Structure 1
Amino acid sequence: MTESDKVVSGHTDPVVRRGRGRPRCFDEQEALHKAMLLFWEYGYEATSISDLTQALNITAPSLYGSFGDKSQLFYRCLDYYLTTEACPIERIFQEARTARIAIEIYLHENIKKMVQEHKPAGCMLVVATMNCSEQNHQIQEQLLQKRHWVKQRIYERLQQGIQDQDLSPNNPIEAMSDFYTTIIQGMTLQARDGATIEQLNRVAEHAMKSWDTF
């Protein structure tokens, strides 16, 4: 019996049977990028498996086979976001000559990431779990830890400023860390509400004028 005969007779050999699953040209990085944009735009809970399979053009079994469940895919997308989209805090803090310059550059570079053409507004670390229910507490906790890490890095850069003597030992660096972290997170929400780069840059400029008041 020929292969065509097998198909017609309903006895297709398993070797030649092929369903809708994962495309032959499946690009994992491209898939992560598309899934990241959904989670970034709509949040973890509002993004359904159906949304993801349609955006990635794969079936649900193929999605599970490639990335695990929805939470595992979200964590992969979060890592992808931090690697490809988030403001490069380490490079900025290492290259800036003073603590003040480091914070000022970091504010303005964040704004460039918050308002981009063809990408969701704001920071994914802030917006992706804003409306999550208690059942997704673990995912909220993961993002909270990453936001705390950012604030800790701001604190450490201010601490380095004291060591480098470009910041006074009397400066309340914990309060400064809280203040500039709040500015960044607040600008994220403003970006989601439609604030322009120009508006957010003015916010950052006023925030830097507060530097000398600490």
Structure 2
Amino acid sequence: MHDDSEVPNIALKAKRGRPQCFDEQEVLHKAMLLFWQYGYEATSISDLTKALNLTAPSLYRSFGDKQQLFQRCLEYYLANEACVIDRIFSDAKTAKVAIELFLYENVKRLVQENKPTGCMLLVSTMNCSEQHSDLQEEIKQKRMTVKEKIYQRLLQGQQAGEISENASIQEITDFYTTVLQGMTFQARDGVGREQLNQVAAYAIKSWELF
């Protein structure tokens, strides 16, 4: 894959108003897989047009520039590939069960057949240059949103008497967030689901320490 971050002038000349001749969701799915596998900067416009079987004008006309397409792919990823954290946390009877279910559900999604490993929110902008710091910050905020939801679910558990009132909810949040992020990079390095499930199991055993 190679970098192609600049949008050529053809993007400005693309005709508007022509009907789409492709399935937008299918295109987003294929583009998402590229960004997820190779990262934002390493995925070029030419890589995208080849994989999506679209011309550059069609791509720009339908999705805007590369960054706009990437943002649409992130939305697609969160809607279709990421763990449904709100449902998991609301259905779980206790904070411990909520974290346990969330860890194991993440493992299922970190290692899947015919899909890139790891979490797209972590791996897709890891190696971005400074010129894309705004994009990195945007994804960081999405990760922080997940972390805040973990914090709030743990706090709810503490208020319900499930966690000692002397325990630091922030420290527990930091611990499980670090476990989740670490499992992503282990998955990228080829660690399989069985081993990651063992990591999740040990992380849950650590609950007693809190």
Q: What's the TM-score, normalizing by structure 2?
A: 0.90
Say whether 1:91 aligns with 2:123.
no
Decide which of 53, 58, 64 is 1:62's aligned counterpart: 58
Give the AA of the match of 2:97.
I
Match of 1:162 among 158, 181, 186: 158
1:141 has 2:137 as partner: yes
Residue 190 of structure 2 is matched in structure 1 by 194
1:82 aligns with 2:66: no
Deviations 1:3-57 (CA, angstroms, capped at 9, x unpaired): xxxxxxxxxxxxxxxxxxx896400000000000000000000000001111111
Task: Write out per-residue CA displacement over residues 100-124 of structure 1, whole angstroms, 9 at most, x where no aligned residue.
Answer: 0000000000000000000000000
**Residue 28 (structure 1) aligns with:** 24
For residues 207 and 165 of structure 1, the distance between their equivalents in structure 2, rounded to whole angstroms, comes to 21
Q: Of 100, 108, 111, which aligns to 1:112?
A: 108
Secondary structure of the residue aligned to 1:171 is coil
C-alpha displacement at 1:145, in angstroms? 0.4
Contact 1:23–1:58 (8 Å) recurs in 2: no
Residue 146 of structure 2 corresponds to 150
> Unaligned regions of 5+ residues in structure 1, if any?
1-21
**Structure 2 residue 168 is matched with structure 1 residue 172:** yes
Q: For 1:64, give the aligned amino acid.
A: Y
2-structure distance, mates of 1:25, 1:67: 14
Please state whether the residue corresponding to 1:210 is helix, strand or coil. helix
**Structure exhibiting the larger radius of gyration computed from Cα positions:** 1
> 2:200 & 2:98 partners in 1: Cα distance?
13
Aligned to 2:5: none
The separation in 1 between residues aligned to 2:165 and 2:155, in whole angstroms, is 9
TM-score computed with the length of structure 1 as normaliser:
0.88
**Distance (whole Å) between structure 1 residues aligned to residue 20 and residue 198 of structure 2:** 49
Name 1:209's counterpart in structure 2: 205
Return the alpha-carbon distance in structure 1 between the equivalents of residues 20 and 185 of structure 2: 40
How many Å separate the matches in 2 of 1:52 and 1:173? 43
Tell me the C-alpha RMSD between the 2 structures. 1.1
Equivalent residue pairs, number: 193
Q: Identity percentage over the alignment?
A: 66
| 1:46 match: secondary structure | coil
Give the C-alpha shift of residue 169 in structure 1: 1.4
Off by >3 Å, runs of 4+ in structure 1: 22-25
